[in-house]
Amino acid sequence: MAQPLFEKVAFIGLGLIGSSLARVMLAENLSRHIVASTRSEKTLQDALELGLIEQGFNNPVDAVQGADLVVLALPVQATEKVLRLIQPHLADNVILTDVGSTKGSVVAAAKAVFGEHLPAGFVPGHPIAGAEHTGVHAGKVDLFANHKVILTPLPSSAPWAVNKLIQMWESAKAEVICMDVEKHDEVLAYTSHLPHLMAFNLVEQLANREDNLDIFRYAAGGFRDFSRIAASDPQMWHDIFLANKTALLKAVDGFESQLAIIRQLIEQEDSHALMGLLGHAQAARQHFNHMLAKKPFMENNNVTQQFTILPGAKTFQGKFTVPGDKSVSHRSIMFGAIAEGTTHVTGFLEGEDALATLQAFRDMGVSIEGPKNGEVTIYGVGMQGLKAPAGPIYMGNSGTSMRLLAGMLSAQQFDSVMTGDASLTKRPMERIAKPLREMGAQIQTTGERGTPPVSITGAQALKGIHYDLPMASAQVKSGILLAGLWAEGETSVTEPEPTRDHTERMLRAFGYEVKTEGNRISLQGGGKLVGTDIQVPSDISSAAFFMVGAAITENSDVTLEAVGINPTRTGVIEILKQMGADLSVENERIAGGEPIADIRIRGSRTLKGIHVPEDQVPLAIDEFPALFIAAACAEGQTVLTGAAELRVKESDRIQVMADGLKTMGIDCTPTDDGIIIQGKGKAGDWSAIFTGGEIESHHDHRIAMSFSMAGLRTSGEIKIVGTETVATSFPTFTELAGVAGLNIQVTE
């Protein structure tokens, strides 16, 4: 058995937090001996009976003898008194930590006792976990699991001490974060202390009314939710409010001025601004939930989601609207924001990336309602109406937003900074910064190697340029054209080969003239956009999974409504048709400048293997994982060449698909620029093709969704791990696939 981390731990205070940590220490065998000192004899007795400690002491001095870890788990106000008592009795090299909810006051107490030379083993800490009940019986072994623990190492803290404490808290399955003391107290003042203060205060306000009984009796869920934390221990919160007085008062002042703002909006019945404020707050709440809490948490803790697909699907049928196209969703917000008048968007993709764009424009003062069921209303502020954001603009994982916004922000009167998540922070931004500089923009890529953060100095007069794009990039092309809206004269771009033209099409839908002559696209600066209705086409890349699902399932009949059929994207339709799929494109029309149609696929005949024409490869590049599933069900061999690009997508899609296909009994050979798949289909035979098995999706959403569709023709259970990224592009995937007839379950 591994050596315990500690020889002897002494808890001073053994209530909710201390006893929960003691439970972890026991369960994980973190210390050879565990002792404690508390105020009351009763707590020690209870702790002995619970088997949490081997000895209890009334005097903390007795507890700390020979301990290599001392944990102060008592009210922060008692810290100085206890430290004064135990100081002469602490072992050399002891690790001394605490769990108090404020950190400045604990450090001040330590300095009062030890002087400026604090022990190297002193590392204050704060687990962000709790419960309304306190005391030794309230403790739980999993109290800290999936919660954050903040350590605030001081300049005097030794790395060995910090590292051991990180190990200890990670054994409790907590996520450990280090920050400095002031930052901790400020962050907690806003996120914990102020909400508690408000909850206590609201309950107090109502309790003082004469009709308080009625009020509490008829209290709706909102009151219950909001006031829940006012049931916490008054003594503890009294102590915390006083211990973190400075930071808390600052937060209270901020709250007061914000309250005055909303009060005035209601008093003046300023419905537009009130809606803007509420919408902004709601979106910020969802945004933080999405981007800041769950995803990094999942990444840091290797928490993954898994799909399980059971064999025996009988049918695959229905009419579906798959989520909106991401590229078009981004642009609808950007162009609606700078247009004059109102823009109403339907079919908006409520995925994390598009929500980041929406939040960015709210941060720049644009009033936006929604999204609700894919509907968004944007009250455009015109070409000169964007306002300076209060802080850096967070673009999440969206390279599209960052590159397009770089163009727009370069032309504004204010300075701005754009940041993003870990993966966006690695993407190249010089490719857009360089042409923008030629236009007169002051833009810096402040990360290493020309990566984000991107910092822009406003109030520059831009002039139109002609730019020969060195790479085929719709994002760079769009960023330049967007800066050109504000630039003097003509801005034009020549692209080496045609790329997605969503920007050009949508600018025209907003009434802005854009010329396309061969590979040269140009516009004149100084015009204006006029608000319009935008129907975001359903994303053909998302529709592709259902197209393939229907094509491989007997008697299926699936219609995908209002799918974007921009000619730069329709390779999947052409390839499936060549494989013999019963597929028709119906009801073609134009929406928001983009061609759309309903696509109907029926499972009436067995697909045949083909050599995929190379001219279709760029037009279907994102759809190949799904098409490989179709190829496995086809009769004969399918050969793909000229698709080396697939190896550098979110994953190496050729290798990852080949590995998964082999796991499920399909004979295939990956090549440098494609794959050869031996289809197992036989004309007129709809029996199972895949054997089932466990598939690693490498956190690539398209891999996960493609193998889900294989579940329509499987004889055994399919498990797909790492499926949490599916929510980014297709939040309703499992729901719709289930309605159509796939036996799919999600577990986390």
- Could you give the string, one character per residue 63-82, with x where binding to ligand NAP holds by CB under 6 A and - elsewhere? ----------xxxx-x---x
Stretch touching ligand NAP by CB under 6 A, among 127-135, 368-376, 561-569, 613-621? 127-135
By the rule CB under 6 A, 56 interacts with ligand NAP? no
* Minimum gap (Å) between residue 76 Cβ and ligand NAP: 5
Q: Which stretch binds ligand NAP (CB under 6 A): 11-19, 214-222, 596-604, 624-632?
A: 11-19
Please check whether residue 316 is in contact with residue 553, taking contact to mean a CB–CB distance below 8 angstroms: yes
Q: Shortest distance, CB of residue 294 to ligand NAP, whole angstroms?
A: 22
Q: What is the DSSP letter of 146?
A: T
Residue nearer to ligand NAP on the CB measure, 57 or 707: 57
Helix %, strand %, coil % of the chain (to 5): 45, 20, 35
Asked if 14 touches ligand NAP (CB under 6 A), the answer is yes
- When the beta carbons of 171 and 442 are compared against ligand NAP, the nearer one is 171
**Measured from the CB atom, is 45 or 587 closer to ligand NAP?**
45
Regarding 447 and contact with ligand NAP (CB under 6 A), the answer is no
Residue whose token pair is 């916004």: 405
- Contact between residue 291 and residue 353 where contact means Cβ atoms under 8 Å apart: no
Exposed (0-12), middle (13-18) or buried (19+): which is 234, by Cβ within 10 Å? exposed
Report the nearest approach of ligand NAP to the CB of residue 242 (Å): 12
Binding mask 372-411 for ligand NAP (x = CB under 6 A): ----------------------------------------
Q: How far is the CB of 247 from ligand NAP (least distance, A)?
A: 15
Rounded to a whole number of angstroms, the minimum distance from the CB of residue 23 to ligand NAP is 12
Question: Is residue 622 annotated as involved in ligand binding?
Answer: yes
- Token pair belonging to 496: 């080496």
- Identity of the residue, 234 or 391, whose beta carbon is nearer to ligand NAP in the bound complex: 234
Backbone dihedral angles phi then psi of residue 410, each to the nearest 5 degrees: -60, -25
If binding is defined by CB under 6 A, does position 105 make contact with ligand NAP? no
Amino acid at 620: A
Return the closest-CA partner of residue 13 out of 81, 66, 109.
Answer: 81
Query: With CB under 6 A as the contact rule, which of the stretches 95-103, 148-156, 396-404, 657-665 interacts with ligand NAP?
Result: 95-103
Q: Find the shortest distance in angstroms from Cβ 340 to ligand NAP.
A: 51
593 is in an annotated binding site: no
Nearer to ligand NAP, 131 or 459 (CB): 131
Q: How far is the CB of 167 from ligand NAP (least distance, A)?
A: 20
One symbol per residue from 230 to 259: x for binding ligand NAP (CB under 6 A), - otherwise; what is it? ------x---x-------------------
Is 327 a known ligand-binding residue? yes
SS3 (DSSP) at 584: strand
| Positions in 451-480 near ligand NAP (CB under 6 A) | none
**Closer residue to ligand NAP (CB): 236 or 493:** 236
359 is in an annotated binding site: no
269: left (phi over 0), alpha (psi -120 to 50) or beta: left
Least distance (Å) between residue 100 CB and ligand NAP: 4
In the bound state with ligand NAP, the residue whose beta carbon lies nearer, of 16 and 704, is 16
Is position 217 annotated in a ligand binding site?
no
Active site residues: 622
* Rounded Cα–Cα distance for residues 171 and 564 (Å): 49
Q: Least distance from C-beta 20 to ligand NAP, angstroms?
A: 8
Q: Are 16 and 139 in contact (CB under 8 A)?
A: yes
Residues 480-519 that bind ligand NAP (CB under 6 A): none
Amino acid at 551: A
Verify binding: residue 135, ligand NAP, rule CB under 6 A: yes
134 part of the interface to ligand NAP, by CB under 6 A = yes
Shortest distance (Å) from residue 669 CB to ligand NAP? 57
Q: What is the crossing angle of helices 399-410 and 326-338, to 10°?
A: 20
Was 331 annotated as part of a binding site?
yes
> Residue 540 in contact with residue 498, Cβ under 8 Å?
no
Total binding residues toward ligand NAP, as defined by CB under 6 A: 25
- Give residue number: closest CB to ligand NAP: 15
Site for ligand NAP in 24-43 (CB under 6 A): 38-40, 43
CA distances from 374 to 264, 355, 541, 543, 643 (A): 31, 11, 18, 17, 34
Residue 649 annotated as binding?
yes
Q: Where are the alpha helices (DSSP H) in 28-101?
A: 41-49, 60-64, 79-86
| Residue closer to ligand NAP, measured from CB, 82 or 118 | 82
Contacting residue, 119, 121, 130, 660, with ligand NAP by CB under 6 A: 130
DSSP string, 491-512: EEEE-SS----HHHHHHHHTT-
To the question of whether residue 653 is assigned a binding role by annotation, the answer is yes
Residue 388, class by beta-carbon neighbours within 10 Å (0-12 exposed, 13-18 middle, 19+ buried)? middle
Contact criterion met (CB below 8 Å) for 400 and 351: no
3-state secondary structure 93-118: CCEEEECCCCCHHHHHHHHHHHCCCC
Nearer to ligand NAP, 19 or 542 (CB): 19
| Residue 227 in marked binding region | no
Ordered strands of the 442-445 beta sheet: 393-394, 416-419, 454-457, 442-445
- Please, what is the minimum distance in Å from the beta carbon of residue 712 to ligand NAP? 49
Q: Given the complex with ligand NAP, which of 78 and 158 has the nearer CB atom? A: 78
Cβ contact 118:156 at 8 Å? yes
> Is 412 assigned a ligand-binding role in the annotation?
no
- 513: number of Cβ within 10 Å: 10
- Per CB under 6 A, 47 contacts ligand NAP: no
Burial group, residue 271, by CB count within 10 angstroms (0-12, 13-18, 19+): exposed
Q: Which of 5, 6, 10, 15 contacts ligand NAP by CB under 6 A?
A: 15
Q: For 321-348, b where at least 16 C-beta lie within 10 A, e where not — what string? A: bbbbbbbbbbbbbbbbbbbeeebbbbbb
In the block, residue with structure tokens 């085929």: 472
If the CB atoms of residues 102 and 317 are measured against ligand NAP, the closer one turns out to be 102
Of the residues 18, 56, 336, 525, which one makes contact with ligand NAP according to CB under 6 A? 18
Residue 600 annotated as part of some ligand binding site: no
Those residues with Cβ within 8 angstroms of residue 431's Cβ, 6 or more apart along the chain or in another chain = 403, 470, 471, 473, 476
Residues β-bridged to residue 375: 372
Task: Tell me the binding residues for 3-phosphoshikimate.
Answer: 326-327, 331, 473, 475, 622, 649
Task: Tell me the binding residues for phosphoenolpyruvate.
Answer: 326, 399, 427, 475, 653, 702
Which stretches of the chain bind ligand NAP, using CB under 6 A?
Answer: 13-18, 38-40, 43, 73-76, 78, 82, 99-101, 127, 130, 134-135, 236, 240
Task: Tell me the binding residues.
Answer: 326-327, 331, 399, 427, 473, 475, 622, 649, 653, 702
